[in-house]
Every structure is written in C-alpha cells, then in structure tokens.
Amino acid sequence: PQGPPVYVDLAYLPGSWSARTVDEEFFRRIRSLCYVVSGDDHLKEGVLRPLLDALLVGKHQWGIDIQVTLIPTFDSLVMHEWYQETHERQQELGITVLGSNSTVAMQDETFPACKVEF
C-alpha cells in the first residue's frame, strides 16, 4: 500500500532468496542512513547487482539530500565492479560505500569489521 516513507538509522538488506524482494520501491520507501549488505553466498552474488542498482534509482527519488552509507560485510567482485562503474553516480546521490581494512579477533576466529557510530 502507498504511504509515507519510513526513516531509520540502520537497515539490514535481506540475504539469500529474500534479497530478490529488494527493489527500487524498497529503497524509495525504506530510507536509511546506513544499509548493511550481508550474506556472502552464491545466491546473494546473483542478485547483488540488481539490488545495488535499485539503491541508486530509489535514492534518486528521495528528492532530499541525506547522506547514505552502504556497508558490505563481504568482499565481492560484483560489488567492486558496481562501485567502479557507478562511483560518479554514487557521489551525486550522496552514497558512500564503506570499506574496511580492520580485523577483529574473537575466540579462535578473525574476520573483517568496521565500526559505525550514530
């Protein structure tokens, strides 16, 4: 149903098969300061590019200048290609893709991480 957009600080984008439900309308209606793209699996790779393109189209429809941060939680060739091909458009729309070179060690495991403050 039609209605006003919802504003949030942080939104996790669904992974696996549910990622297919994220389209331009999702980003037009769910307006977040930060979107977390998680789910490093083969299903996510297949829908990642349309999801990222939908962010650009949806954000363009906002009509207001709000800075948005995209936080991928995994390394992906699709993400790198999208970033390079659309970097100028991202800047025009106020979208920052947050990369991280930090590593966190927890128990017997280490993994990349970044810190987000509000």
Nearest residue to 76 (alpha-carbon basis) of 97, 105, 102: 97
Q: Enter the tokens of residue 1.
A: 């149903």
Q: Give me the pLDDT at residue 42, please.
A: 62
* Residue labelled with tokens 């100028």: 88
Contact indicator for 47, 76 with CB cutoff of 8 Å: no
Overall pTM surpassing 0.85 (yes/no): no
Contact indicator for 100, 112 with CB cutoff of 8 Å: yes
pLDDT string in tens for the chain (118-residue length): 678 999 999 999 887 667 778 899 999 999 999 999 876 666 667 788 899 999 999 999 998 889 999 998 877 888 889 999 999 999 999 999 987 666 788 888 887 666 666 6
Q: Enter the tokens of residue 40.
A: 């490093």
Which DSSP category does 61 fall into? T
Measure the CA angle with vertex 24, ends 64 and 37; round to 5°. Answer: 95
